[in-house]
Amino acid sequence: MTAVDQRPAFLAALIEAGLFVPTGVKGVYGRGSQFEAVRFGLDDLITRSAVDERAEVLHFPPVIPRRMLESSEYLRSFPHLAGTIFGFEGSEAAAAEQFELASQHADWSGFQAMSDLVLTPASCYPVYAAVGGRPPLVAGGVTIDPGAAYVFRREPSDDPARLQMFHMRELVRIADPVTAVTWRDAWIDRGQALLADLGLDAAPDVAADPFFGRAGRMLAASQREQQLKVELLVQIAGPEPTAVASFNYHQGYFAHLNGIRLASGGEAHTACLGFGHERIVLALLRVHGLDPATWPATVRDRLRLAA
Ligand code: AMP
Ligand code: ZN
């Protein structure tokens, strides 16, 4: 049986309840206090669940150096998702002309030059460069907690669960190959249990990133074949279940790119996991109702929502 697409009705209900505040741009919403209270509770629950990791906290703003993106494969793999920051550097006359065009909503892009910044596409990106700048890793490697950074993906949509800017709560493991992939695999189960405790029925599935173009289809097939990406899927409002968390094994890609080495001389590998904050909050609102005050006490307790 094909499930009905309830995304438009769900979006309208979120706005009506003040959980989402429309900005006029698809996939970009303000959020009301109830939504944010749940999101903060979720982030804290993830932090508590990961306490045994003794992860090093390393938070970054939602921009990365443009060079970092250029040095990675991102623009080959996901040119359609990248967000680039431009700025004005010109004369007073040029500024006046730019303003004139902009105020008429005409094309003022000719006055804008590419800056040295791009929007962060995944919260783990700046982590690898930071660790690459350090001495070689001790045995056992390192776990980094980059927190829930805002990330950008240029994928405008009417689906309330497909945002252009959202919070991705990551954890990153950098170690020898066996340690990295074992950690990734263990977290699939841990993530599933965390979501089950919140009343969310999440199923794991081997997945692929949305690689661009024809060449991208081959990259996606190879990623699937090697089971490098696993997602936890939950039914939100669309006809298909939506990925609310991802568990990635990058093999030696990021370590090599960023010069991360093990003190033992062995090859370093990396793995990361990303919980999509907004998608999990939306799934909770879908399952338990739009008013968190009426949610089951166990769920409210886990999220430490005030009475
Ligand atoms: P990814 O790096 O694509 O695996 O994304 C990590 C997690 O972020 C996914 O499992 C989703 O929960 C979330 N996510 C990815 N894309 C979006 C989006 N466009 N809107 C909201 N959440 C997203
Ligand atoms: Zn990551």
Burial of 146 from C-beta contacts in 10 A (0-12 / 13-18 / 19+): buried
Tens of pLDDT, residue by residue over 237-296, are: 999 999 999 999 999 999 999 999 999 998 999 999 999 999 999 999 999 999 999 999
* Ligand 1 mutation pick, 279, 280, 281, 282, max ligand atoms within 8 A of CB: 279
Would you say 201 and 236 are in contact if contact means Cβ atoms under 8 Å apart? Answer: no
Cα 286 vs. chain centroid, distance in angstroms? 20
Which ligand is closest to the CA of 173, given by its number?
2
Nearest-atom index, ligand 1, CA of 164: 19
**Alpha carbon of 249 to ligand 2 centroid (Å):** 9
Phi-psi region of 74 (alpha: psi -120 to 50; beta: other; left: phi over 0): alpha
Amino acid at 129: A
Residues in the chain with pLDDT < 70? 1-3
Q: Is any ligand 1 atom within 6 A of the Cβ of residue 121?
A: no
Phi-psi region of 94 (alpha: psi -120 to 50; beta: other; left: phi over 0): alpha
In angstroms, the CA 243 to CA 241 distance is 7
Nearest-atom index, ligand 1, CA of 246: 10
Q: Which of 227, 170, 220 is nearest to 204 (CA)?
A: 227
Tens of pLDDT, residue by residue over 97-122, are: 999 999 999 999 999 999 999 999 99
**Alpha carbon of 294 to ligand 2 centroid (Å):** 34
Residue nearest to atom 1 of ligand 1 (CA): 246
Q: How, if at all, do strands 56-57 and 142-152 pair?
A: parallel
**Alpha carbon of 5 to ligand 2 centroid (Å):** 30
Q: Specify the DSSP class assigned to residue 189.
A: H
**Alpha carbon of 200 to ligand 2 centroid (Å):** 23
Cα dihedral 156, 162, 168, 173 sign: negative
Residue nearest to atom 15 of ligand 1 (CA): 276
By the CB criterion, residues less than 5 angstroms from ion ligand 2 are 122, 124, 272
In angstroms, the CA 257 to CA 132 distance is 9
Tokens (6 digits) for 244 = 């609310």
Tokens (6 digits) for 87 = 């700025």
Q: Is any ligand 1 atom within 6 A of the Cβ of residue 245?
A: yes
Q: Is any ligand 1 atom within 6 A of the Cβ of residue 170?
A: no
